[in-house]
């Protein structure tokens, strides 16, 4: 039963029996499987007194039409939400003993804050959770709020910062291991995820209000596609923000033949349409980018990068809105088969690992400054002989001024995450990479970087994970000196009259 709760935050626990196990493997890119999935009773019974008092629950029985079972789940909800949690747990235990395994949603009356940063500028995300596997960063320019989606070994979470990235609060947690990604467009942060666990065949969408990060409970979840018994290898969620702001894109690869499919919808997000790409054998490292502020309405709007089985880095784009073709390619000689892709106003960068010939990885790029008319390839970072290898590069060009790249380096004592920027968008040298992490970085978890066009920030936001599985947020340049509205002209916070 779906109840309408206002001004609360929502956690969903899905109980699945017999998760589909993919037949194709992503080798070193295969996510770690989550722990065995607890039942709804185990999850709710594991809450302490304060958590129980902070929780309103909603049970969803999936694949069962038994009216009696529905009435029993409603009884559990009513008992719990009236404060009779022990009675609710007893009824739920009997229900599960009868073979009914509901999904449990927990709406937090108060959001769960992340712990404070241990050292500046690293800002921990996740309220003490561990098991970081990846991140997505987005922002809402009107409110100034920054959003970070974290993918965990045991689920994914939505996190919001209302103070320019100085701290984050978790507003939502999905407790099943899944592929997940996020984009911010319109009034919502949109999350696409493989709904039933690791490498599921069901792709679903949820959305969250940009004003406070709360789940849009009226929207609930919408299934974009279900390719079962096939499974999802990689999943990307993108939008046509910040310039057009009226579309959401869900892009994934099918494990059967590595086919890339694109689904899109307007900001209602309730009826997605398929765009066939004709691209197959995209086995590794999928990325997808919207070419913001493009000068063409039908060409080079969408860019796709991946690594095929050769292995070769491939970059494709669209022609006449829907037809995709190969724009550029380079042999892949690195270790981690991932690509990072970004596009803006006809400038496109794709970064990836490259062996420098002695078994050490550097970072290379493919780029165009004119929507693919001319391509160049060169190096972002070349390790010194006997020096540190680079892993997991990522890139953004969304500032419109310069490309910025982030990657991890494998060091002897401690591992670092480094960023570098080029002198200009299409020419010049790259800065000496700067290590910015204060915690020992995990070598094989993805690094995220995104331009944040937020007042008093206007910098690159970055997320990395440490060896303990904790994610941290950093800004490439410090936020502004004042946060009282001085720079933006907001005088509402000024109260002291000098003379």
Write down the pLDDT at residue 51. Answer: 81
Angle between helices 67-81 and 85-97 (to 10 degrees): 160
What order do you get walking across the sheet with 389-396 strand by strand? 389-396, 404-410, 416-421, 434-435
* Closest by CA position to 214, among listed 68, 11, 361, 451: 11
User: In terms of DSSP bridges, do strands 169-174 and 9-13 run parallel, antiparallel, or are they unpaired?
Assistant: parallel
pLDDT-based confidence at residue 34 (cuts at 50, 70, 90) = very low
CB-based contacts of 112: which residues, under 8 Å, 6+ apart?
Answer: 9, 127, 169, 170
* Closest by CA position to 457, among listed 104, 75, 118, 137: 137
Q: How far apart are CA 100 and CA 88, in angstroms?
A: 15
Q: Does position 492 have pLDDT exceeding 70, yes or no? A: no
pLDDT-based confidence at residue 478 (cuts at 50, 70, 90) = confident
What order do you get walking across the sheet with 376-381 strand by strand? 340-344, 347-355, 361-368, 376-381
| CB of 245 closer than 8 Å to CB of 186 | yes
Q: How far apart are CA 83 and CA 387, in angstroms?
A: 60
Q: Which two tokens stand for residue 120?
A: 């500046």
- Look at 64-73, 229-238, 358-367, 372-381 and tell me which has the smallest mean pLDDT: 64-73
Q: How far apart are CA 432 and CA 451, in angstroms?
A: 20
Write down the pLDDT at residue 3. Answer: 31
Write down the pLDDT at residue 61. Answer: 66
Of the two residues 323 and 119, the one the predictor is more confident about is 323
Q: Which two tokens stand for residue 354?
A: 């490259």
């Amino acid at each position: 039963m779906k109840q309408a709760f206002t001004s609360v935050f929502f956690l969903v626990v899905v109980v699945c029996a017999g998760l589909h196990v993919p037949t194709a493997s992503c080798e070193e890119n295969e996510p770690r499987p989550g722990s065995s999935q607890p039942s709804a009773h185990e999850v709710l019974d594991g809450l302490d007194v304060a958590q129980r008092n902070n929780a309103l629950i909603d049970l969803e029985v999936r694949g069962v039409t038994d009216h009696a079972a529905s009435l029993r789940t409603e009884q559990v909800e009513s008992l719990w939400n009236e404060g009779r949690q022990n009675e609710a747990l007893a009824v739920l235990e009997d229900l599960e003993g009868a073979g009914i395994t509901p999904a449990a949603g927990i709406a937090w009356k108060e959001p769960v804050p992340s712990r404070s940063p241990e050292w500046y500028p690293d800002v921990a995300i996740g309220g003490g959770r561990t098991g970081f596997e990846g991140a997505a960063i987005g922002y809402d320019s009107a409110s100034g709020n920054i959003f970070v989606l974290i993918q965990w070994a045991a689920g994914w979470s939505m996190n919001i910062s209302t103070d320019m990235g100085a701290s984050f609060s978790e507003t939502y947690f999905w407790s099943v291991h899944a592929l997940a990604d996020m984009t911010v467009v319109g009034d919502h942060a949109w999350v696409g995820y493989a709904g039933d666990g690791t490498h599921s065949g069901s792709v679903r969408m949820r959305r969250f209000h940009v004003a406070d990060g709360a789940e849009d409970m009226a929207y609930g979840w919408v299934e974009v596609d279900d390719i079962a018994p096939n499974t999802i290898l990689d999943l990307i969620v993108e939008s046509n923000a910040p310039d057009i702001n009226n579309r959401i894109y869900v892009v994934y690869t099918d494990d059967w033949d590595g086919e890339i499919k694109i689904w899109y919808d307007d900001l209602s997000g309730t009826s997605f349409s398929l765009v066939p790409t004709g691209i197959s054998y995209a086995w590794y490292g999928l990325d997808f980018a919207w070419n913001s502020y493009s000068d063409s309405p039908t060409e080079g709007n969408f860019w796709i990068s991946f690594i095929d089985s050769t292995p070769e880095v491939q970059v494709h784009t669209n022609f006449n809105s829907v037809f995709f073709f190969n724009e550029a390619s380079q042999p892949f000689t690195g270790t981690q088969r991932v690509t990072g892709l970004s596009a803006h106003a006809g400038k496109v960068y794709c970064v990836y690992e490259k062996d420098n010939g002695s078994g050490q990885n550097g970072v290379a790029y493919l780029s165009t400054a004119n929507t693919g008319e001319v391509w160049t390839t060169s190096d972002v970072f070349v390790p010194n002989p006997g020096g540190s290898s680079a892993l997991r590069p990522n890139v953004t060009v969304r500032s419109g001024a310069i490309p910025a790249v982030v990657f991890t380096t494998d060091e002897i004592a401690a591992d670092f995450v480094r960023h570098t920027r080029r002198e200009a968008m299409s020419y010049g040298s790259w800065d000496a990479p700067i290590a910015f992490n204060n915690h020992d970085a995990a070598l094989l978890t993805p690094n995220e970087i995104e331009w944040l066009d937020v007042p008093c920030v206007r910098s690159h936001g970055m997320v990395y994970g440490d060896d303990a599985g904790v994610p941290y947020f950093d800004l490439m340049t410090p936020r502004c000196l004042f946060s009282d509205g001085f720079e933006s002209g907001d005088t509402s916070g000024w109260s002291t009259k000098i003379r």
